[in-house]
Each structure stands twice: as structure tokens, then as C-alpha cells.
């Protein structure tokens, strides 16, 4: 479904637009928020559900999440009001109530977690190989067609593999399939729930649910309040931004559009990536290539880093100590503008948690996604394709700008090593998706990755596949590759880090 303008995506974007509208235009916030479900869902023509009341109930929960608030508990005799907690969220600074990712119970379809079913394509063939290969006798013939006894079925899939008519389907819960660490469970009603002790907030479950039943919390309302306060608000944009707002919107047009929206200035997060690849290249050469350290893990993807720390605690000392590009760029901005608030604009949901962590000061005041930013542009009536570029996006090198795709971090570090440490033997691996990241960490734990620099990305495809993106992954990869190719300077100067100390 990625990159397709489905009703689910339209509903999400409508909610972001309306929440931004509240911040920009509302004179009576509580009443205007109460009215929104009725404006969004027409009584005569509900678009997404067969029940207008259910549709509005779901919209109410989406509105709460988009305002940064949590879902209302469903197990109370007197449920909380839609606007309960509104005063706490109506602020001009970061607002966050954990957890980040939540399942809206009324929206969940309680999809089958894992089952095999016979479809109408069954021809009732004489051979019935499905019955012959079933190791537990779960398949029988009823009225000339195969039937699977779900109580006996062990979900081995052998029947599906041998059916000559492809008449057996494997039904799995999309959100569960997309979660590489098994954080999606089921409640007593068969609805999806997220195990917060496992979840690393990558958001892949959210973008995989065809019912839009999973959503993350947004900070757009509080960000707009901060912009209205008169403070200096500076944006830093992730390398994956190119192409996200239309094929005709150039990086320079995008920078001008952000300033028109109200940002004081715009930096590329790729600046921090440039610094990071210099530091990680030096670490690899001096520690891993020399044999002092078995292997090294990159730290750019917060979901990958959290998963590694949680599931493979023995690798903690192998995770790079280099600041992530987001944090590094934020510190550069605050050094140059001590009185500014910093906003990270990117494709990633889990960056919202990275910005809130206490172990390493992030210096990031707000995090919004490309999808959320689109809602702000729409609420302001800014048409990006009509913007006249008045600025230049010329901060970073090709190395840093390549961080937006899987393998980009490893490639940047490799290019730096080749230029500044010629003759160094380089062993680099990268993994996409949390499932593949787990596999490569298991290999590293077993001593199979010694001498390697390992790049991990929670989202298959890299940052361009993040949960907050607007376009298809292949198109986004092409746009990043093009931007990188057109960049004159290929790697950062060796003295860059020293110049910024």
C-alpha cells in the first residue's frame, strides 16, 4: 500500500490538516475540536465504514492522537470526553504522553493472526494432494471440496504449497507480519494490541494496517503554537525529503516553502550525517580494522539501536558513539542560534522518541513527519509546486545526502575510508527490516561478522520507507540517488568535525 493514495491515507492527512487548522484559526478550541468529527464524516455519506457512528468514533481517537493525547480508555463506565486533556496539550513546547504507537480498538478489524483457508478456487480434484501432505489430518473432503479443521491445523503451509489450483490462501494479520520483533499481540476480542515492552516504534505496523487502526502521536499542534509565540523556530530536514512533496518540487523550492510556512531557517540533517560518517570511518579504521573491536554497529536508526540494546545487550559497546545526524545537526543549529527551537522534519516515527530520550540530550524540540508537514502546508494553503525558489539547499555532501536509503550510511563511511584511509580493507554489511536486523545481530553474536561495520535500518528500504513518508519507496530511492549524484562535493572535508568544535 505504500505510496498509494488510499482512503486510509486520505483520512490521516485530513486529520492532520484539520488539527493544523485548529492551531492556525480556531477561536474556541474546545468547541471547534468537538465539531470536527461531524465535519469530517458526513451523516449521509460515510466513506470508510458502513456505520457513520463508528466512523466518527474512530475520527475522534485519531484527532486525540494528532493532538498528542492518548486514546480514551474503553473499559470505563463513563468514558473520557473527546477534549479531556486538551488544556495540557494546548502548549507551545514539546508534548508527549507515552506510548507513541497505539491501536484504535474500534478501528481494528480483528484480522486472523495466522490461518490457512480453502477458497472458492478449489476444484475438488481427485488427487487432493492437500489432504495427502497434511501431517495432522486437518484436511477432509466435504461435498467434493477440501475443508481445513482450524482446531487441528498447525499452520505448516504444506497444503498451500502443493495445491495445483492455488486454492489455499494464507491469511496473516498485516500489522503482525510487518513487525519484525513480534510486538503485535491479540486481546480477548482478537483485536491487535502492541506490547510496549518490545515495540521500538518504527511504525511499520501503522503503515501496513489496511484499516488505519494504528496511529502515532503528533506534535504539529504544539509546533504551530511555538511558531505563533514569536520564537525563532529552525527546521532541519532529513536526507529523505527529496521528492516527498511532488516531482516538480525541488530542494530549493522546498526550503523556500518552509520559510513561507514560518520557519526562520532550514538546515539539512545531512550536515550531521557528514560529521557522523567521518567519525564512524575513523572509529572503524582505528578499532575494528585494527582488530581491537570485533565489529561495529551504526547508530543512525533509533529503532535498530533500541532493538539491538534490548535483544542483544552484549552489543551495546559495539554501537557507535557518534551522535545521530539529527542530534548532531541540532547541536550545530543551537550553537549558531542559542535562542532557537529546533524542529526535525523527516520520514521517521521513532525519531519522536529519540528526541525525548534523556540518556543523550537531543537538542531537538519537535519532531514531525513529511506526512504531518503536508497537513500544515494544506492548512496554510501553500501550494509547493507554485513556489518560486528564493533559497538554496547547499549545505551537505553526497555522502550525507545518501543516508536516506538503505546502504547509504555504509556507503558514505566506505567512501570516506577510501579517501582518507587508503589501503584499509573494508568489510561492510547492511540489513533492512527488523527481522533482517535480528538475523545479522545473531550472526554477529556468533562471531560471523567480525571485522565488519554493520548498518541496520528498521524500515525495508531505509529512511525513505519510514512511516511518515508521502511517496512510494522505489520513487523515493530514485529521488535520493538523483540528488546525491547531482551534489558536487562527494565526501566531507576531513577537518569538518574540527572546524565545528
What proportion of the chain, given as a percentage, has pLDDT over 90?
A: 89
pLDDT of residue 159 exceeding 70, the answer is yes
Please report the pLDDT score of residue 309 as a whole number.
93
The model's pLDDT over 170-182, given as tens digits with 9 standing for 90+, comes to 999 999 999 999 9
How far is Cα 129 from Cα 131, in angstroms, rounded to an integer?
A: 5
pLDDT at 223 over 80: yes
Give the least confident one: 344-353, 369-378, 386-395. 386-395
- The string of pLDDT tens digits covering residues 420-467 is 999 999 999 999 999 999 999 999 999 999 999 999 999 999 999 999
Q: Is residue 129 assigned to a domain?
A: yes
Q: What is the mean pLDDT of residues 285-304?
A: 93
CB burial string 74-85: b at 16+ within 10 A, e below: eeeeeeeebbeb
For the chain, what is the domain count? 1
Most confident of 1-10, 45-54, 83-92: 83-92
pLDDT in tens, 313-354: 999 999 998 999 999 999 999 999 999 999 999 999 999 999
What's the sign of the alpha-carbon dihedral 268, 274, 277, 280? negative
168, part of any domain: yes
Report yes or no on 157 lying in a domain. Answer: yes
Locate the DSSP E strands across 269-335. Answer: 296-297
pLDDT band at 164 (very low <50, low <70, confident <90, very high): very high
- Is 332 a domain residue? no
Q: How far is CA 56 from CA 61, 458, 475, in A?
A: 9, 33, 34
Q: Would 393 be classed as within a structural domain?
A: no
> What is the average pLDDT score of the chain?
93
What pLDDT digit, counting tens, does each position of 120-143 carry? 999 999 999 999 999 999 999 999
Could you count the other beta carbons within 10 Å of the beta carbon of residue 187?
Answer: 12
Task: Tell me whether residue 184 is in a domain.
Answer: no
Residue 342 vs residues 72, 99, 163, 241, 366: alpha-carbon distances, Å: 31, 23, 57, 17, 7
Q: Which of 276-280, 295-299, 448-452, 474-478 has the lowest mean pLDDT?
A: 295-299
Is 153 among the domain residues?
A: yes
Cβ proximity of 476 and 386 under 8 Å: no
496 has pLDDT over 80: no
> Mean per-residue pLDDT for 232-248?
97
CA atoms lying within 13 Å on the CB side of residue 251: 23
In the chain, DSSP finds a helix count (H) and a strand count (E) of: 20, 15
Q: Tell me, what's the pLDDT at 79?
A: 67
**Of 183, 249, 182, 179, residue with least CA distance to 207:** 179
With both helix axes pointing from N to C terminus, report the angle between 270-283 and 325-336 in degrees, rounded to the nearest 10: 120
User: Rounded to whole angstroms, what are the CA distances from 239 to 98, 216, 424?
Assistant: 27, 22, 28
Tell me the pLDDT band of 46, cut-offs 50, 70 and 90. Answer: low
Go through 479-488 and write b for each residue having 16 or more CB atoms within 10 A of its CB, e for each that does not.
Answer: bbbebbeebe
Q: Which domain holds residue 159?
A: 114-172
- Tell me the whole-structure pTM to 2 decimals: 0.93
Q: Is position 164 within any domain?
A: yes
pLDDT tens digits for range 395-413: 899 999 999 999 999 999 9
Strands 214-216 and 101-103, by their bridges, are antiparallel
Answer whether residue 274 shows pLDDT above 80.
Answer: yes
Are the C-beta atoms of residues 436 and 454 closer than 8 Å to each other?
Answer: no
Dist. CA 171–CA 124, nearest whole Å: 21
Cell 475443508 maps to which residue?
147
Q: Look up the CATH number of the domain holding residue 145.
A: 3.30.70.20
Amino acid at each position: 500500500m505504500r505510496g498509494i493514495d488510499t482512503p486510509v491515507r486520505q483520512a490521516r492527512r485530513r486529520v492532520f490538516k484539520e488539527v493544523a487548522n485548529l492551531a492556525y484559526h480556531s477561536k474556541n478550541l474546545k468547541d471547534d475540536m468537538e465539531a470536527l468529527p461531524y465535519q469530517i464524516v458526513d451523516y449521509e455519506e460515510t466513506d470508510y465504514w458502513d456505520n457513520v457512528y463508528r466512523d466518527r468514533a474512530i475520527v475522534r481517537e485519531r484527532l486525540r492522537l494528532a493532538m498528542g493525547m492518548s486514546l480514551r480508555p474503553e473499559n470505563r463506565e463513563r468514558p473520557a470526553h473527546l477534549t479531556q486533556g486538551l488544556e495540557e496539550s494546548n502548549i507551545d513546547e514539546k508534548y508527549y504522553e507515552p506510548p507513541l504507537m497505539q491501536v484504535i480498538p474500534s478501528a481494528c478489524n480483528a484480522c486472523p493472526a495466522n490461518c490457512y483457508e480453502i477458497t472458492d478456487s478449489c476444484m475438488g480434484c481427485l488427487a487432493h494432494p492437500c489432504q495427502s501432505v497434511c501431517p495432522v489430518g486437518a484436511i477432509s473432503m466435504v461435498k467434493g471440496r477440501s475443508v481445513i479443521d482450524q482446531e487441528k491445523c498447525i499452520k505448516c503451509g504444506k497444503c498451500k504449497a502443493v495445491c495445483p489450483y492455488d486454492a489455499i490462501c494464507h491469511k496473516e494479520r498485516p500489522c503482525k507480519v510487518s513487525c519484525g520483533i513480534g510486538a503485535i499481540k491479540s486481546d480477548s476480542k482478537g483485536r491487535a494490541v502492541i506490547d510496549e515492552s518490545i515495540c521500538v516504534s518504527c511504525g511499520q505496523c501503522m503503515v501496513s494496517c489496511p484499516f488505519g487502526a494504528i496511529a502515532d502521536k503528533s506534535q504539529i499542534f504544539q509546533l504551530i503554537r511555538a511558531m505563533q509565540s514569536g520564537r525563532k523556530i529552525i527546521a532541519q530536514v532529513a536526507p529523505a525529503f527529496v521528492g516527498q512533496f511532488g516531482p516538480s518540487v525541488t530542494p530549493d523550492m522546498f526550503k523556500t516553502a518552509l520559510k513561507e510556512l514560518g520557519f526562520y531557517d532550514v538546515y539539512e540533517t545531512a550536515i550531521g550525517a557528514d560529521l557522523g560518517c567521518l567519525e564512524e570511518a575513523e572509529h572503524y579504521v582505528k578499532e575494528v580494522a585494527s582488530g581491537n573491536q570485533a565489529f561495529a554497529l551504526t547508530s543512525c536508526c533509533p529503532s535498530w539501536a533500541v532493538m539491538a540494546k534490548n535483544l542483544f545487550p552484549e552489543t551495546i559497546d559495539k554501537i557507535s558513539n557518534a551522535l545521530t545526524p539529527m542530534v548532531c545537526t541540532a547541536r550545530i543549529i543551537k550553537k549558531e542560534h542559542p535562542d532557537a527551537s529546533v524542529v526535525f522534519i523527516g520520514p521517521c516515527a521513532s525519531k519522536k522518541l529519540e528526541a525525548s530520550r534523556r540518556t543523550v540530550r537531543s537538542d531537538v524540540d519537535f519532531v514531525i513527519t513529511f506526512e504531518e508537514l503536508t497537513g500544515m502546508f494544506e492548512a496554510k494553503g501553500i501550494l509547493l509546486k507554485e513556489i518560486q525558489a528564493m533559497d538554496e539547499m547547499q549545505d551537505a555532501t553526497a555522502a550525507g545526502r545518501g543516508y536516506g536509503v538503505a546502504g547509504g550510511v555504509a556507503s558514505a563511511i566506505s567512501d570516506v575510508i577510501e579517501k582518507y584511509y587508503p589501503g584499509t580493507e573494508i568489510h561492510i554489511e547492511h540489513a533492512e527490516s527488523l527481522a533482517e536486523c535480528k538475523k545479522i545481530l545473531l550472526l554477529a553474536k556468533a562471531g560471523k561478522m567480525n571485522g565488519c561495520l554493520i548498518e541496520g535500518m528498521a524500515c525495508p528500504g531505509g529512511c525513505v520507507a519510514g512511516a511518515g513518508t508521502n511517496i512510494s519507496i522505489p520513487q523515493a530511492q530514485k529521488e535520493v540517488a538523483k540528488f546525491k549524484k547531482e551534489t558536487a562535493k562527494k565526501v566531507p572535508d576531513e577537518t569538518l568535525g574540527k572546524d565545528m568544535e
